[in-house]
Chains A and B, each alone.
Chain A
Amino acid sequence: MAVEEAAARLLAQSSEVTAGRRTEVPAYGDTQRTSAPVRDSSAPQERAPRAWRVAGVLLPVAFLLVVEVLVRAQVLPDNLVPAPSEIAQALWQLGGATLLKHIVQSTARVAAGFACGALLAVVVGAAMGLSRRLDALLDPSFQALRAIPSLAWVPVLLLWMGIDEAPKITLVAIGAFFPVHLSVLSGVRNVDRKLVELGTVYRLSSWRLFVRILLPAALPHIFTGLRTGLAVSWMFVVAAELIAATRGLGYLLSDGRETGRPDIVFGAIILLGLLGKLTDSAMKTLEAHVLAWRDTSVEGVRT
């Protein structure tokens, strides 16, 4: 009996909790609010438990610690793998101002190149997404251009634009262009026909159809492309800075290699990883903000 009573009390409590959670959503007599409980259950799937997220951040730190111990114990040769503490020291010796100069320079090139490339990609991708003829005309050329490796562009751009900022920014823009272009194209193509039909019902002009239905519907696709494009931008900026640069993390990398300083090389690599991660997080935050309306897959299965 006691067990049954306890179970009943527990049930009552849990139903109170559920009811409490649902208060934010008004209850209607004729409607079943399936989304509220579903949203509750989906929450842990959208965001992993806090402990695991903290562990995810600590994992690379732990890795560096292990490397440190292995190098100190002379399991790993320190002429091939410098100890993380040595890397930190090397970066420290470069001085905050010098380091910041390199970081700012690379970030500025990524920002400028990514902005130009992504903007152009949205325009061209949308045009090709809307017009089958334009797509048929341009698609083979873009496929071929996309297949060209980043380093192949470097001599051409140096030849055309000199050794200024222009060729570097252009190279980054080329890198950012293709992933974004592809995502815009497929995003616009894959818009639900039923939503497009809604535009027909309300007799929207093609421009308004694009702005009010196609573009917002394609946004989830486009953001995926933007994030890929940003990652590629960091790759391409290093390619640009490896050759003919006096500043930037790519320059730091090649300078470290030429002067036989693996600690500097690894330092530059770690900084590139950090910056890539930070800019991607920023993009992800923007995405979450802009796409707040998006129905997650878990909510999508409700009947």
Chain B
Amino acid sequence: MMAASLTSTAREPRPYAPLVDIDIRVKHYGERPILDSLRLTIAPGEIVALLGPSGCGKSTLLRIAAGLDRDYAGTVSYNGEVQRGPSPLAGVIFQEPRLLPWLRVADNVCFPQRARGDALDRARSLLEEVGLRDEDGALWPKHLSGGMAQRVAIARGLFTQPQLLLLDEPFSAVDAMTRMRLQDLLLAIVDAHRTAALVVTHDIDEALHLADRIVLLEPAGGARTRPASRIFEVGGARPRRREDMGHSVLRRILLEGLETLVR
């Protein structure tokens, strides 16, 4: 536990204006507090990973940031403006692709808008960007594999040109090989579109590979003396090499941190 303080930085105001500022006083799940006194800011272009044991409120935090959960005490601000409800600046990518089965792939991508000429052209170029072929745009979602469907979901998330991508365990339902490819795709996309991203994950390696900062979330309530979350800066510029062993110390700290939380 003491080792953690060496790498974790105290919560302090950042020198730049944050793109999003999530400040939650308390969020209850029924009677039980699930998040409390938690503040998380994300700078433009930054990738933040939310790590924590299951049931600690990671997904809830993401849903609050996405404006899908409004039942909490606190504020979410985008570019300094308090936002209640979904923000046009955020694109959401869920754990499952959530494609509309009655729309063809290209129409799913431009679902946020009406599927007309320009929108369809944009959808096609986004599909190409996420690694699908032009003719795939005419497929029904039922003909896609899990990995392809999630690529389409990413393309749809990008369609509104968001400044922040909110991803809720986006790659947990695909096989290991596909997961790595999708992680690299996400990194490429974040760079190309200059978006920030908040990634909820329970995979330490995924967090280490993707994130500039990792937020280790602790379950709320009880006689807790520590703060609700600890923030770890991940060194090294993106893209990182997977075989990079430089993160092994941080990996061990995170693992120990997770284990104490689960206990």
User: A residues within 8 Å of B by Cβ?
Assistant: 25-26, 28-36, 39, 194-195, 197-198, 200-203, 212-213, 216-217, 219, 292-295, 299, 303
Known: A26-B133, A30-B178, A294-B101. A202 touches B145 (CB 8 A): no
A25 to B142 alpha-carbon distance, docked (Å): 12
The A/B interface has a contact count, at CB < 8 Å, of 77
B73 in contact (CB, < 8 A): no
In angstroms, Cα B133 to Cα A195, docked, is 26
Cβ of B12 within 8 Å of any chain A Cβ, yes or no, is no
The reply to whether B88 and A213 contact each other, CB–CB distance below 8 Å, is no
Q: Judge if B86 is at the interface, Cβ distance under 8 Å.
A: yes
Tell me the nearest residue of chain B to A28, going by C-beta: B148
The size class of the interface chain B forms with chain A is 35 or more
**A–B pairs, 20, beta carbons within 8 Å:** A26-B135, A28-B131, A29-B181, A30-B182, A31-B145, A31-B147, A31-B148, A31-B178, A34-B145, A35-B142, A194-B98, A195-B98, A195-B100, A198-B100, A212-B111, A217-B102, A293-B101, A294-B142, A295-B101, A295-B142
B179 to A, closest residue via Cβ: A30
| Chain B min CB distance to A43 (Å) | 14
B96 within 8 A of A: yes
Contacts of B55 in A (CB 8 A): none
Q: Compute how far the CA of A31 lies from the CA of B132 in the bound complex, rounded to whole angstroms.
A: 11
| A213 and B101 form a contact (CB under 8 A) | no
Residue of A at shortest CB range from B182? A30
Task: Identify which of residues 144-195 in chain B touch chain A, using a CB-to-CB cut-off of 8 Å.
Answer: 144-148, 160, 175, 177-178, 181-182
A-B residue pairs, 9 tightest by C-beta: A31-B147, A295-B142, A31-B145, A30-B181, A216-B102, A293-B102, A202-B112, A30-B178, A293-B140
Let me know if B177 and A30 touch, CB within 8 A.
yes
Chain B residues proximal to chain A, CB less than 8 Å:
66-68, 85-86, 88, 92, 94, 96, 98, 100-104, 111-112, 131, 133, 135-136, 140-148, 160, 175, 177-178, 181-182
Interface-centre pick from A30, A36, A203 (highest chain B CB count, 10 A) = A30
Q: Which residue of A lies closest to B147 (CB)?
A: A31
Residue of A nearest to B66 (CB): A201
A203 touches B88 (CB 8 A): yes
Cα A213 to Cα B98 with chains together (Å): 12
Q: A25 to B143, Cβ gap below 8 A?
A: yes
Question: How distant is the Cα of A29 from the Cα of B178 in the complex, in angstroms?
Answer: 9
Which of chain A's residues has its CB closest to B177's CB? A30
A33 in contact with B145 given A200-B68, A202-B111, A293-B140 (CB within 8 Å): yes
Residues of chain A within 8 A of B181, CB atoms compared:
29-30
Separation of A36 and B100 alpha carbons in the complex (Å): 20
Question: Quick one: closest A residue to B173, CB to CB?
Answer: A303
Please tell me if the beta carbons of B100 and A216 are within 8 angstroms of each other in the complex: yes
Report the separation of the CA atoms of residues A212 and B110 in the bound assembly, to the nearest whole angstrom: 12
Tell me the smallest distance from the CB of A292 to a CB of chain B, in Å. Answer: 7
In angstroms, Cα B68 to Cα A30, docked, is 32
In this complex, what residue of A is CB-closest to B159? Answer: A202
Q: Give Cα A91 to B143, complex, Å.
A: 50
- Shortest distance from the beta carbon of B172 to any chain A beta carbon, whole Å: 13
The distance in angstroms between the C-alpha atoms of A197 and B67, with both chains bound, is: 11
- Whether A32 and B66, one on each chain, are in contact in the complex, defined by CB atoms closer than 8 angstroms, is no
Docked-complex contact B143 and A203, CB < 8 angstroms: no
Q: A288 to B231, alpha carbons, bound, how many Å?
A: 54
Are the CB atoms of A194 and B145 closer together than 8 Å? no
- CB contacts (< 8 Å) of A35 on chain B: these are 142-145
Q: Judging by beta carbons under 8 Å apart, are A194 and B100 in contact?
A: no
B94 touches A194 (CB 8 A): yes
